[in-house]
Structure 1
Amino acid sequence: MKKIAPHWQILIALGLAVALGVVFRNFSVAAGDVSSFALFANRATAVSSFVGDLFMSALKMIIVPLIVSSIIAGIGALGGVKGFGRLGAKTIGFYALTSLTAILVGLTVVNVFEPGLVDGQPNIEIREAFDRSVDSASESERAKVEAANQKQATDYLDFFKKLFPPNIIAAASDNGQMLGLIVFSILFGVGMTRLPVGEMQTLQGTIQGVNDVMILITRWIMMTAPIGVFALMFPVVYQSGAGLFLELGRYFGTVLTALAVHMFVTLPLILKFVGKVSPVAHFKAMQTALLTAFSTASSSATLPVTMRCVQENAGVSRRTSSFTLPLGATVNMDGTALYECVAVIFVAQVMGVDMAFGAQFVVVGAALLTSIGVAGVPSASLVAILLILKNSNVEGAETAVVALLSVDRLLDMSRTAVNVFGDSCAAVVVGASEGEKVLQGDLHDFEGDIEDEEGLLDED
Structure 2
Amino acid sequence: MNKSTPILAALPLAVLVGIFIERDAGLFGITLLSVFDFIGALFLNALKMVIVPLIMSSIIVGMSGLGTAEQLGRLGGKTIAYYTMTSLIAIVVGVFMANLIQPGVVTGDPTTVFGLNADTATIAAQLSDKTGGDVIDVFLRMIPPNIIAAAAEGQMLGLIFFSLLYGFFINKLTDINSQAQRLFFSGMFDIMLHITHLIMRFAPIGVFALVAKTVMNTGLDVFWPLAQFFITVVLGLAIHAFIILPLLLFVIGRINPVRHYSAMSAALLTAFSTASSSATLPVTMECIEKNAGVSNRISSFVLPLGATVNMDGTALYECVAALFIAQAYGLELTFATQFTIVLLALLTSIGVAGIPAASLVAIAVILGAIGLPLEGIGLILAVDRILDMLRTAVNVLSDTCGAVMIAQSEGEITSGK
Q: Determine the C-alpha separation between the residues in 2 that align with 1:379 and 1:391.
A: 20
Offset of 1:342 from its aligned partner? 0.6
Offset of 1:427 from its aligned partner? 0.3
- What is the aligned partner in structure 2 of residue 372 from structure 1? 350
Contact kept? 1:149, 1:387, Cα under 8 Å: no
- What is the aligned partner in structure 1 of residue 408 from structure 2? 432
**What pairs up with 1:50-449 in 2 under 5 angstroms?**
85-118=73-106, 123-124=110-111, 126-128=113-115, 130=116, 151-153=154-156, 154-156=158-160, 157-163=162-168, 164=170, 166-173=180-187, 175=189, 246-247=223-224, 248-394=226-372, 397-438=373-414, 440-442=415-417
Q: Determine the C-alpha separation between the residues in 1 that align with 2:293 and 2:109.
A: 50
Ranges in structure 1 where 5+ consecutive residues have no aligned partner: 1-13, 30-66, 132-147, 179-234, 443-460
Q: Residues 278 and 362 of structure 1: is their aligned pair in 2 closer, same or farther, counting only changes over 3 Å?
A: same
Q: Residues 279 and 375 of structure 1: is their aligned pair in 2 closer, same or farther, counting only changes over 3 Å?
A: same
Greater C-alpha radius of gyration: 1
Ranges in structure 2 where 5+ consecutive residues have no aligned partner: 17-60, 118-150, 171-177, 193-202
Residue by residue over 1:246-287, the C-alpha shift from the partner in whole angstroms, topping out at 9 and shown as x without a partner, is 451111111111111111111111011111001111111111
Q: Determine the C-alpha separation between the residues in 1 that align with 2:320 and 2:306.
A: 22
Residue by residue over 1:341-386, the C-alpha shift from the partner in whole angstroms, topping out at 9 and shown as x without a partner, is 1111111111011112232122111211121122112222223322
Q: Percent identity?
A: 47
- What is the aligned partner in structure 1 of residue 23 from structure 2? none
- What is the aligned partner in structure 2 of residue 455 from structure 1? none
Residue by residue over 1:407-435, the C-alpha shift from the partner in whole angstroms, topping out at 9 and shown as x without a partner, is 42111111111111111111011011112
Q: Residues 348 and 82 of structure 1: is their aligned pair in 2 closer, same or farther, counting only changes over 3 Å?
A: closer
Contact kept? 2:295, 2:413, Cα under 8 Å: no
Q: What is the CA RMSD across the aligned residues, in angstroms? A: 4.0
Q: Determine the C-alpha separation between the residues in 2 that align with 1:347 and 1:311.
A: 41
User: What is the TM-score when the length of structure 2 is the normalising length?
Assistant: 0.63
Contact kept? 1:162, 1:177, Cα under 8 Å: no
Q: Residues 281 and 83 of structure 1: is their aligned pair in 2 closer, same or farther, counting only changes over 3 Å?
A: farther
- What is the aligned partner in structure 2 of residue 451 from structure 1? none
- SS of 2:92's equivalent? helix
Offset of 1:171 from its aligned partner? 4.7
Offset of 1:168 from its aligned partner? 4.0
Contact kept? 1:107, 1:341, Cα under 8 Å: yes
Offset of 1:149 from its aligned partner? 9.4
Q: Determine the C-alpha separation between the residues in 1 that align with 2:255 and 2:262.
A: 13
Contact kept? 1:102, 1:338, Cα under 8 Å: yes
Residue by residue over 1:117-153, the C-alpha shift from the partner in whole angstroms, topping out at 9 and shown as x without a partner, is 136x76456522x56xxxxxxxxxxxxxxxx997542
AA of the residue aligned to 1:96: T
- What is the aligned partner in structure 2 of residue 450 from structure 1? none
Offset of 1:174 from its aligned partner? 5.3
- SS of 1:276's equivalent? coil
Q: Residues 375 and 280 of structure 1: is their aligned pair in 2 closer, same or farther, counting only changes over 3 Å?
A: same
Offset of 1:113 from its aligned partner? 0.7
Offset of 1:338 from its aligned partner? 0.7
Q: Determine the C-alpha separation between the residues in 2 that align with 1:404 and 1:302.
A: 25
Contact kept? 1:151, 1:383, Cα under 8 Å: no
Q: Determine the C-alpha separation between the residues in 1 that align with 2:183 and 2:341.
A: 36
Contact kept? 1:290, 1:417, Cα under 8 Å: yes
Contact kept? 1:116, 1:126, Cα under 8 Å: no
Q: Determine the C-alpha separation between the residues in 1 that align with 2:276 and 2:189.
A: 11
Contact kept? 2:307, 2:399, Cα under 8 Å: yes
- SS of 2:333's equivalent? coil
Q: Residues 273 and 177 of structure 1: is their aligned pair in 2 closer, same or farther, counting only changes over 3 Å?
A: farther
AA of the residue aligned to 1:426: G
Q: Determine the C-alpha separation between the residues in 2 that align with 1:81 and 1:347.
A: 39
Q: Residues 117 and 167 of structure 1: is their aligned pair in 2 closer, same or farther, counting only changes over 3 Å?
A: same
Q: Determine the C-alpha separation between the residues in 2 that align with 1:368 and 1:95.
A: 10
AA of the residue aligned to 1:357: F
- SS of 1:349's equivalent? helix
Offset of 1:175 from its aligned partner? 4.6
AA of the residue aligned to 2:75: L
Q: Determine the C-alpha separation between the residues in 1 that align with 2:327 and 2:152.
A: 21
Offset of 1:155 from its aligned partner? 3.2
Offset of 1:158 from its aligned partner? 3.0
Contact kept? 1:259, 1:335, Cα under 8 Å: yes
- SS of 2:351's equivalent? coil
Offset of 1:296 from its aligned partner? 1.4
- SS of 1:251's equivalent? helix
